[in-house]
A and B are shown apart, each in its own frame.
Chain A
C-alpha cells in the first residue's frame, strides 16, 4: 500500500514537472490588468513576447502599434475588433482571429 502511494506521488510529481513547466511564464510575458466588466470571471489576457519575437522583429510592432511601455496602450476588445493593437494581425489573416472560439488563447491563467 505504501509503495502504491509512493508510486502515485512520484508519477504526479513527474507529470507536474512535465506539464507544470509549460504553464510557467517566460521573461517578457505581459499580464494585462483588467478594468472592465467581468474582471473576476475572465482571466486577464497574457501577451507572450517569446512566441511573437520568434516570428517578428521588435520594430514590427514597436512603436507604431504598441508603445514600449507595458500598460501604455489602451487595449480593449472593441479596439482589437476595430483592427487596432492586437487586431492589426489577429484578424484571421496574419494570425488567429479574435472571437468566442479563441478567448482562452489569450485570456488564460
Chain B
C-alpha cells in the first residue's frame, strides 16, 4: 500500500494493474489517453497492451479477449464510443466470461472535444452497468469492482470518468500490483457468440432478465448510498456530488449515485421521506429522469424545470447557484467577482515550426476561394488561419469533401486530415470518393504520430504502443490501392514545392491526394533534431507584416519591425515567405 500524488488517469491505470488486467486496447482521446500511456511504458508488464487504429477495432479486440476468459480493458473518449457503439450494443447480448471494462471518458464543457455527449446514456441504451466516479480515489477504487461486476453478471461494464476526474490530481491510496498470469482460451459456443436471429432473440431476453439483480447489487456494493439529515434532499452524481458535499448545509439529506441502473424502489423510499428534492448531475438528466418517475407528488428540482443547466460542466460556484435558486442553500457561499474584460485571448495555437502551418499557407495560396473540410487533430487549429471550414467527427473530412463535390458546389474542395485520423476512419471515405467519382483534393497532414493527444504511435509511426518496431504502413501505396492515381508526397516546409504540387492537383479532375510529410516539431525536439534558429535582420526588414500574418508564435512585431523569439524551431518557412530576404539563420550574415 502506498499513497501517491497522481493524475486521475494514472490512478485508474494503477487500479487496472491492481485488478490483474490481462489485455488492454484503446484509441487515444482527451481526457482518456494517459491510462494506456501509463500502462504501455511499465517495466516488466505481464499484460498485453495495444493502441488500436480506432475505437471499434479496440473494443472488438478487447471483447474477443474477454470471450477468452481474461480481464480486458478498453479505453476511449466519449465520442470514441460512437465509433465503438456497434460492438457495444451486441456485446451486451453475447456477454463475456473474463471481465471487460470499457472506459469512456466524458468531457463536459468540451474542453477538448466536438460535443458534450453523456456516456451514461449509452450504458442505459445497451443495458450494461455503468460506474460514475465522483473523485480520483473513488475512480481508483471502482476499477477492481468494475471487473468483479463484469464477471459476476457476464456483461461489459462501462466506467465513465469525466475531465475533472481524469485530469485532476490528488493523493491516492494505492493497492498492490497483481501479475497477470491468465492465458486466454476460446471455448466455442455458437448460441452465445453467433448472433443470428434465432440466437439473438434468446440473448436479448437473458440480458433483460439480468437487470433487476444488477440494480440491487449496485446498492449492496455501496456505489449508491444516502444519509438522511432533514426534510429536503439533494441527489447528486459524478464530480457534481463532490461539489455538493463541499457546500451541503445542515439539515439537508444527501444521496450519492455512483452506478447505474438505479434501483427505483430504493430510490423511491428515499425520495418519499422528503418534502422536496434537488438533482445535481453533469450533462444528461440520467438520474433526474428516474427520480421523476418515482417521485409521485414530491417536487423535483433540476434540469427539467430550469434550475440546472443541461450543458457545460459543473463547478463549486455553479452548484452553489443551483442550490441557492432551488432554496437548498440559505446564503451565498462565494463572493460575486468579475473577470477583467477585453484582454486579448490566448487560445491554443499551432506550435512554432508546426508542419501544418506551412501546408495550410500553401493550400490557401493555391486554392484561394476553395472550401476546406477538415478533421480532428492539432490541425483543427487551422481554423485560425481560415483553412478549416468544417469539422464534425473523426474521418469526416474526405466524406464531407465528396458530399459537397456531389452536391454540385462549383468551388474547388481541398480537405485536410492527419495520418492517425486517416487510418482511424479516413480510408473508407477515400475509397468511397474514388469509387463514386468525386472531384476533390485530399491533403494528408502526415507527422507520423497522434500528436494532439500526447504523441501516441500509430501504424504509420513504425513502432507499437510498447515501442516494438513494426513496419509502417505506406500511405502512398494505401491511397493508390484505393484507386487514386494522383498521389504525391511533399515536405510542407518547402513552400515552393508544396505550392507546385497543389497547382498540379488543381489542374486535374477526380480525387487527388497530397501527403504533406514532416515530423511533428515536438517529436523532432524530443528526438534531438536541431535546425538552428532564425532571426530578422532589422536593417533589411521593411515591416511589411507578411511573416507576422503567417501566425507563428515565434514571430513578434515591435517598433514597426518583425522579431523572432526563442520559440523558433528553425523550420525556415518564414525565411522563404519574406519578400525582402530579411530573415536569416542565426550566425549567418
A joins B in a complex: no
Which B residues fall within an 8 A CB radius of A?
Answer: none
Which A residues fall within an 8 A CB radius of B?
Answer: none
